[in-house]
Amino acid sequence: MEATATLTTLSSSPAGVRSSPARTTVASLHPRRLPDPASHLRGAQGPTALRALSSPFLGFSSRRRRSGMVVRAEMFGQLTTGLESAWNKLRGVDRLTKENIAEPMRDIRRALLEADVSVPVARSFIESVTEKAVGTDVIPGVQPEQQLVKVVNDELVQLMGGEVSDLVFAKTGPTVILLAGLQGVGKTTVCAKLAFYLKKMGKSCMLVAADVYRPAAIDQLAILGKKVGVPVYSEGTEAKPSDIAKNGLKEAKSKKTDVVIVDTAGRLQVDKAMMNELREVKKAVKPTEVLLVVDAMTGQEAAALVGAFNGEVGITGAILTKLDGDSRGGAALSIKEVSGKPIKFVGRGERVEDLEPFYPDRMAQRILGMGDVLSFVEQAQQVMRQEEAEELQKKIMSAKFNFNDFLKQTKAIAQMGSFSRIIGMIPGMNKVTPAQIREAEKNVKFMESMINVMTADEREKPELLAESRERRRRVAKDSGKTEQQVSQLVSQLFQMRARMQKMMAGMQGKDTPDMENLMESIKSEEQFAAGTGQPRRKYGNLRRRDLDRMRGYRR
């Protein structure tokens, strides 16, 4: 058996009971095999889900043996191998620290440089991965090396531009795509590939042969045009490229063609004449897209070239060809970072159908070859968020809600507006508006400053503050707030506890809670705590009623 990971199964375990570890393969971590996160809210599998995810080290090497599960892009083979050695160095650590990731980071840096990524790009990549990895919260059930895989993946996606960069089409008249590039990079082939791609999208196309220096290029375009079934406009080798382009566009307009693709001359190197000619063609047809075709085999040079062309003529993006070759991937990784321009398409072969939009996320996954680990970490993050929310809800209900929870919750509000989700989980209380969430977010800093100066004991047991004026005074002094504001914060916490308990009692049929009033008072307390309004009542000290409740004299 290929068992490489141990995972405590939960599906058959009663909530809260850990079943005996069952050996399973990494395949078990496929999202479909993970507990449905929403089931926590329905109380099905409950908080055991995360424990279920607590697997020891997942043997990354196993993926190689499992056929069909991981598609490794050969082009990135070396880079992938270099990264693997980084993960392997983290075996057995409990969390990612600056110290323990130093060595793996060196491996990643080396792997990037070997893939022909430029030194500055590799350096800034390492810096941001280090920063994010060290600051990452430990997710129960997820191994530190898996978390690092996720961080590296996310940073790779960002490095390559984040989002897919779609072709832009003209609002009226034909869309003009001007293609430029050095000789032999695959520009003429790209003309046909693009036409084929656009035809599949239902757009009519015309190719314009403006490469007048190489007669064979015109013939090649004519043949390719015929192959993909699109007309090719040409005036031979005597006319000026800018005139050919202008006339071609006129013809396309008269035929109501959707897209005109202009093939321009390639040179052996960037020269003044080439740039001038491109500028002229650009001026003549005002293209919607100016795409520079670059060869992936040229690595970081391709990235520098995109930058240079952009500086000289202004381009909208790049098309990276020959990704099927044995290039090392440096171009794909560096173009956006070096030039600021996105890769819009990649060519993966000589056939007209071998062109596809560039998806940074898919490319990153190809590089890492770890789609399974990534979706596992994402699922675990999701489960953790759900569990935290559920845990917090329980605390509120059981009147154990303390300042630590309060702080955690207010921070969560700032991050994701989860207050609405918690409230939303309670029947009849799903009316939190985005404006209320924004208001709550504004309060975070204000409350945090007071909670931050409380002692660990005070945070755990808000009663200490409720009973001691001295403590409240100290918190006020240390946080730069008034004693009254501290009292109000303490009072607010107890009011919240009491209301939740009352509501729970109501839900159990002892009383009928007034949901509207509850929402109103929570809202006004939030405003009040932000120091934006007048206090509703005068508090020299906490109210008797709150103290009684806290001590259990009142319900």
Residues at the interface with ligand GTP (CB under 6 A) = 181, 183-189, 211, 214, 217, 266, 321-322, 324-325, 347-350, 354
Residue 40 host element (H or E):
helix 38-42
Q: How far is the CB of 297 from ligand GTP (least distance, A)?
A: 9
Question: CA torsion 370→372→373→376, rounded to 10°?
Answer: 160
Q: How far is the CB of 292 from ligand GTP (least distance, A)?
A: 11
Q: How far is the CB of 431 from ligand GTP (least distance, A)?
A: 56
Q: Are 166 and 378 in contact (CB under 8 A)?
A: no
Indicate the residue among 150 and 322 with the shorter CB distance to ligand GTP.
Answer: 322
Amino acid at 372: D
Indicate the residue among 129 and 323 with the shorter CB distance to ligand GTP.
Answer: 323
Q: Are 233 and 294 in contact (CB under 8 A)?
A: no
Q: How far is the CB of 370 from ligand GTP (least distance, A)?
A: 26
Q: How far is the CB of 379 from ligand GTP (least distance, A)?
A: 36
Indicate the residue among 132 and 214 with the shorter CB distance to ligand GTP.
Answer: 214
Q: How far is the CB of 224 from ligand GTP (least distance, A)?
A: 8
Q: How far is the CB of 264 from ligand GTP (least distance, A)?
A: 9
Q: Are 291 and 344 in contact (CB under 8 A)?
A: yes
Indicate the residue among 295 and 525 with the shorter CB distance to ligand GTP.
Answer: 295
In DSSP terms, 195 is beta-bridged to none
Residue 94: phi and psi, rounded to 5, are -90, -30
Q: How far is the CB of 57 from ligand GTP (least distance, A)?
A: 39
Lateral strand order in the sheet of 317-321: 232-233, 205-210, 259-264, 175-180, 289-295, 317-321, 343-347, 355-357
Q: How far is the CB of 336 from ligand GTP (least distance, A)?
A: 19
Q: Are 90 and 148 in contact (CB under 8 A)?
A: yes
CB within 8 Å of 171: residues ≥ 6 apart:
none
Dig out the tokens for 394 from the structure: 């329980």
Dig out the tokens for 328 from the structure: 């090392």
The DSSP symbol for 16 reads: T
Indicate the residue among 190 and 370 with the shorter CB distance to ligand GTP.
Answer: 190
Indicate the residue among 162 and 215 with the shorter CB distance to ligand GTP.
Answer: 215
CB within 8 Å of 416: residues ≥ 6 apart:
385
Residue 73: phi and psi, rounded to 5, are -75, 120
CB within 8 Å of 451: residues ≥ 6 apart:
403, 406, 407, 459, 489
Dig out the tokens for 231 from the structure: 């007309």
Q: How far is the CB of 267 from ligand GTP (least distance, A)?
A: 8
Indicate the residue among 324 and 483 with the shorter CB distance to ligand GTP.
Answer: 324
Residue 263, classed as helix, strand or coil, is strand
Indicate the residue among 52 and 291 with the shorter CB distance to ligand GTP.
Answer: 291
Indicate the residue among 75 and 217 with the shorter CB distance to ligand GTP.
Answer: 217
Q: Are 289 and 169 in contact (CB under 8 A)?
A: no
Q: How far is the CB of 206 from ligand GTP (least distance, A)?
A: 18
Question: Which residue do the tokens 């990534």 mark?
Answer: 374
CB within 8 Å of 440: residues ≥ 6 apart:
410, 413, 419, 526
Indicate the residue among 290 and 503 with the shorter CB distance to ligand GTP.
Answer: 290
Our measurement of the distance from residue 216's CA atom to the centroid of its chain's CA atoms, rounded to an integer in Å, reads 46
CB count within 10 Å of CB 504 equals 17
Q: Are 198 and 205 in contact (CB under 8 A)?
A: yes
CA R_g for the chain = 31
Q: How far is the CB of 21 from ligand GTP (least distance, A)?
A: 48
Amino acid at 257: T
Indicate the residue among 354 and 390 with the shorter CB distance to ligand GTP.
Answer: 354
Q: How far is CA 454 from CA 232, 233, 314, 449, 479, in A?
A: 76, 77, 57, 9, 9
323: nearest Cα among 358, 342, 281, 295:
295
208: nearest Cα among 276, 278, 260, 279:
260
Indicate the residue among 215 and 533 with the shorter CB distance to ligand GTP.
Answer: 215
Indicate the residue among 100 and 189 with the shorter CB distance to ligand GTP.
Answer: 189
**Residue nearest ligand GTP by beta-carbon distance:** 266
Q: How far is the CB of 385 from ligand GTP (least distance, A)?
A: 42
